[in-house]
A and B are shown apart, each in its own frame.
Chain A
Amino acid sequence: MLDLYKHHRRECIAFIVLFALLSLYIATHPRGASTYVMTIWANQCLILALAAMAQFFVVLVRGIDLSVGAIMALSNCVASYVLVGSGIDLFYGSIAVVLTGTLCGALNGLIVVYGRIQPIIVTLATGSVFIGIALLLRPTPGGTINYDFADAMTLDIAGIPTAVIICAVLLIGFWIPLRRSGLGRAFYAIGSSEQAAFQSGISVNTVRIFAFAMGGTFAGLAGSYFSYVTATGDAGIAANFTLNSIAAVVLGGVALSGGVGSLVGALLGACILKTISSLMFFSGLPPLAQPLIEGVVLAGAIAIGSSEVLRMKNRLQVFDR
């Protein structure tokens, strides 16, 4: 048990913080701990959480993805076309939406690896392209999603928000097996020490492209869940989500230098961010002051997370972070 804590210290701290914030939120919310409140909260969290998970895969291999928001917007716009009709159409439609994300991510990966260009600038440019395509699809926000389908995804099952169930399925059915597999190890290896990974026989290029594609897939999932929640296609949502996804992964203990952190951390970081927003909303603090307080809280959390640097007794150690 102690080992678990030691190896996942950051995630444990994030979990405790989230628990505290969530309790505070429920306590101050006029409707309290009802399914309704929890569902709305969970839905909002899941959108950002999926975006954060997308960012996580790219950051894990020592990259950064500034196109997360753009891929979300594009998938969202695609969804507003294909998630209509019913039955089997919806099934294929969902796959098409997520696949859009995967293709975008794979494109990012291919350019980064074979173009030998830094991810920050590649994703900056591709983000622009993806937004452009999204605007072609939906010059103005519009379209619809099959309402029944959207409802199924965003309400609750037996009192538990569907979003929470989706999360649980993702973590147990996807993340844990991935983490145990060779591919999962390869992701961490490349982020932690590319040289060691290469020497151990890992195909660094292929795995990196995979990581970007995985990121794109989750961005596609984020975009599609956004459609379930808002039921329209909107190309303008991008920038907000991109930057928030970076903040979320950092709060969740993922290192921007790669090789450290977990999907759980990304999830927790996103939930923390969203809960703070929601807390602000119901806290009775003047609405005009809320963005500032959010910003200060974010900055404070990040600074506290780094404060151990100030206590280092060997000045050279700060360079090893």
Chain B
Amino acid sequence: MPPNHTGSSRLKTNTTPLVRLENVTKRYGATVAVSNVDFACHSREIHAVLGENGAGKSTLMKLLSGVIQPTEGKLYIDETPVVLSSPRKAIDLGLICMFQELSLVPDLSVKENLLLGGKGSAYGFSRQTDRQLARTLLDQIDGHNIKLSTRVSELSLAERQQVEIAKALSRKPRLLILDEATSALNASVVEKVFELIRVQRDSGTGILFISHRFHEIEAIADKISVFRNGAHIDTFANGEHDYPAIINKMVGQTLTELFPSLPPLSAAAKTVLNIDSLSWNSIVNDISLTVREGEILGLGGLDGQGQSSVMQALFGLLKGTTGQVAINGTGDLPTSPKSAKSLQTGLAWVPEDRKAEGLILDQSIVENMELAALGHASNPDSTVFSDLMQALDLKYRSLDQPVSDLSGGNQQKVALIKWLVISPKCLLLSDPTRGIDVKTKTQIYGLLKTLSESGMAVILLSSDYEELIHLCHKVHIFYDGTVVESLSGESLNAQNIIAASLNMHQSAAPAHA
């Protein structure tokens, strides 16, 4: 898509900013989320914010939407100092945010959610006009088949994002903040949303836009700001810098080898895990796969095609599976995580959701690291723990501090150490680097290489095809519960992964990423 330069391609240094942060710092105990940030957005402008995970973008949005308040520094709206003590205050001042974690209430209907917290709706009744507006907005972004009476809990993620966008727009914002607003939407819906956003901009609204998809930012932004490690690095007009230069600003160093080279598989490697015709509940249909010692097997495909269910089946979470299974000599799927982690079966699973499933945030680093090992036959002693902490370069203040204090990357390291201390024979990883900064990703990739060299088998479920390509010996692409394609060596490339994910036959022409 061609970049958008209409009418606002140069930095506006001479107009009053709509919202301005002055020397703002936000601390959570000892952790600094953002430090000494000077930042401004103007009306009639689409301002994109780029930065990798942990850079401070979400903190910035939360400060601007009144969810949190700065530890130091001031906020100005129209150059008047203001304290956004609550989201209510921010909404009343016209700062409307569409949150990444969504602000929809699952047990209420779409209509009720759209009316939630709107102007004048505190104790009064909804009017016909409100409902018309909601319906119109939804229709404009292709939400025709979202009925207003449906419970939000019944909607898909994409539909929820559409409702969230309609909700934000219906509040008549002065500054519209979109935090990963389009991550689940398909291209045509995204284009319609962008149309609406451009209309908003042209009628005077300021737009603040966070996204990871660079092509989206390229398509819509007038101005781009880069954040790194909690600091505001730079702001420039769209088109002023090219892609590699921007990446450089985001990461702070030239992108050297992210991925280590994979050790080849030895021919003598024994089979660790073998499943044959595994089926479950029509979600997993006739899956067969094998993993050997030292092998890193990738599971790819779009979300929800059965690959995560296979992981769950292996870890003993599914009832009513059929098929042949052989794991380290045992002939059945484990019936619980407890039996899965036993010395005999030797499995370990690091789930995707580290905050709710992989770790217990209220407990300390020590308590989390020891939880799987307590009472386990492998009985690791303290050197096993300290060696791993060193190998992964775990950054902490005290082992007794709660895990919630740590950054996302360090939290994931704790989640990994927890399972590695029991020396599993096969490690199951679900999207281990989702939401993690680049430096930690590199460390985790290095760890995987070491594990592979030491003979551990790894099954890596990933939605990042770069990971699949560079880290895996073989990749199975899932579609509709079956493996539609198995790729390795030469055939393991981006085109084939994407094509197989969409269940298209391999074609010669390269697809756009």
Cβ of A306 < 8 Å from any Cβ of B? no
Cβ of B133 < 8 Å from any Cβ of A? no
Residues on A with beta carbons closer than 8 Å to the beta carbon of B115: 182, 185
Closest to B313 in A: A314
Cβ of B67 < 8 Å from any Cβ of A? yes
Decide if A192 touches B116 in the complex (CB within 8 Å).
no
Question: 1/0 contact trace for B79-111 toward A, CB 8 Å?
Answer: 000000011101110000101011111111000
Decide if A203 touches B86 in the complex (CB within 8 Å).
yes
Decide if B125 touches A316 in the complex (CB within 8 Å).
no
Chain B nearest CB from A175 CB (Å) reads 14
Question: 1/0 contact trace for A287-321 toward B, CB 8 Å?
Answer: 00000000000000000000000001111100000
Residues on A with beta carbons closer than 8 Å to the beta carbon of B87: 198-201
Residues on A with beta carbons closer than 8 Å to the beta carbon of B318: 313-315
Residues on B with beta carbons closer than 8 Å to the beta carbon of A128: none
Chain A nearest CB from B203 CB (Å) reads 23
| Secondary structure call for the B interface | loop
Give the distance in Å from the alpha carbon of A3 to the alpha carbon of B67 in the complex: 35
Q: Which chain A residues (192-219) contact chain B, with CB distance < 8 Å?
A: 192-193, 195-203
Question: 1/0 contact trace for B265-289 toward A, CB 8 Å?
Answer: 0000000000000001100000000
- A201-B317 contact given A182-B124, A183-B123, A185-B116, CB 8 Å threshold: no
Closest to A260 in B: B107
Chain B nearest CB from A308 CB (Å) reads 14
Cβ of B344 < 8 Å from any Cβ of A? no
Give the distance in Å from the alpha carbon of A202 to the alpha carbon of B112 in the complex: 13
Interface residue range, chain A: 20 to 34
Cβ of A57 < 8 Å from any Cβ of B? no
Cβ of A271 < 8 Å from any Cβ of B? no
Closest to B357 in A: A316
Residues on B with beta carbons closer than 8 Å to the beta carbon of A186: 116, 122
Decide if B108 touches A199 in the complex (CB within 8 Å).
no
Give the distance in Å from the alpha carbon of A156 to the alpha carbon of B1 in the complex: 74
Give the distance in Å from the alpha carbon of A280 to the alpha carbon of B306 in the complex: 52
Decide if A3 touches B149 in the complex (CB within 8 Å).
yes
Residues on B with beta carbons closer than 8 Å to the beta carbon of A188: 105, 107-108, 112
Number of residues of chain B lying within 8 A (CB) of chain A? 40
Cβ of B121 < 8 Å from any Cβ of A? yes
Residues on A with beta carbons closer than 8 Å to the beta carbon of B312: 314, 316
Give the distance in Å from the alpha carbon of A197 to the alpha carbon of B122 in the complex: 12
Cβ of A181 < 8 Å from any Cβ of B? yes
- A183-B67 contact given A188-B105, A198-B87, A315-B317, CB 8 Å threshold: no
Closest to B99 in A: A199
Closest to A193 in B: B105
Give the distance in Å from the alpha carbon of A159 to the alpha carbon of B364 in the complex: 67
Give the distance in Å from the alpha carbon of A200 to the alpha carbon of B125 in the complex: 17
Chain B nearest CB from A141 CB (Å) reads 40
Closest to B92 in A: A201
Give the distance in Å from the alpha carbon of A240 to the alpha carbon of B112 in the complex: 37
- A196-B122 contact given A189-B116, A201-B117, A202-B88, CB 8 Å threshold: no
| Secondary structure call for the A interface | helix
Chain B nearest CB from A317 CB (Å) reads 9
Cβ of A180 < 8 Å from any Cβ of B? yes
Chain B nearest CB from A184 CB (Å) reads 9
Decide if A313 touches B105 in the complex (CB within 8 Å).
no
Contact of B102 among A196, A197, A198 (CB under 8 A): A196
Residues on B with beta carbons closer than 8 Å to the beta carbon of A177: 125
- A259-B86 contact given A182-B123, A200-B117, CB 8 Å threshold: no
Question: 1/0 contact trace for B144-172 toward A, CB 8 Å?
Answer: 00000101000000000000000100000
Give the distance in Å from the alpha carbon of A155 to the alpha carbon of B106 in the complex: 43
Give the distance in Å from the alpha carbon of A315 to the alpha carbon of B338 in the complex: 13
Give the distance in Å from the alpha carbon of A182 to the alpha carbon of B126 in the complex: 8
Residues on B with beta carbons closer than 8 Å to the beta carbon of A259: 105-107
Cβ of B336 < 8 Å from any Cβ of A? yes
Chain A nearest CB from B174 CB (Å) reads 15
Cβ of B319 < 8 Å from any Cβ of A? yes
Give the distance in Å from the alpha carbon of A63 to the alpha carbon of B112 in the complex: 22
Chain A nearest CB from B165 CB (Å) reads 14
Cβ of B482 < 8 Å from any Cβ of A? no
Decide if B108 touches A185 in the complex (CB within 8 Å).
yes
- A197-B116 contact given A181-B125, A314-B317, A315-B336, CB 8 Å threshold: yes
Cβ of A116 < 8 Å from any Cβ of B? no
Decide if A196 touches B88 in the complex (CB within 8 Å).
no
Residues on A with beta carbons closer than 8 Å to the beta carbon of B336: 315
Cβ of B65 < 8 Å from any Cβ of A? yes
Residues on B with beta carbons closer than 8 Å to the beta carbon of A315: 316-319, 336
Pick the most buried of B90, B92, B117: most chain A CB atoms within 10 A of its CB: B117
Chain A nearest CB from B109 CB (Å) reads 8
Chain A nearest CB from B320 CB (Å) reads 5
Chain A nearest CB from B360 CB (Å) reads 13
Give the distance in Å from the alpha carbon of A200 to the alpha carbon of B167 in the complex: 10
Give the distance in Å from the alpha carbon of A183 to the alpha carbon of B123 in the complex: 5
Give the distance in Å from the alpha carbon of A181 to the alpha carbon of B120 in the complex: 11
Residues on A with beta carbons closer than 8 Å to the beta carbon of B124: 181-182
Interchain residue pairs with CB less than 8 A apart (9): A182-B122, A182-B124, A192-B107, A192-B108, A195-B103, A197-B105, A200-B103, A201-B92, A201-B116
Closest 6 CB pairs of A and B: A201-B117, A200-B117, A199-B103, A192-B107, A182-B121, A201-B91
Chain B residues in the interface with A (C-beta under 8 A):
65, 67, 86-88, 90-92, 97, 99, 101-108, 112, 115-117, 121-126, 149, 151, 167, 280-281, 312, 316-320, 336
Chain A residues in the interface with B (C-beta under 8 A):
3, 7, 177, 180-183, 185-186, 188-189, 191-193, 195-203, 259-260, 312-316
Known contacts A3-B149, A200-B105; 4 additional CB pairs below 8 A are A180-B125, A182-B123, A313-B318, A315-B317
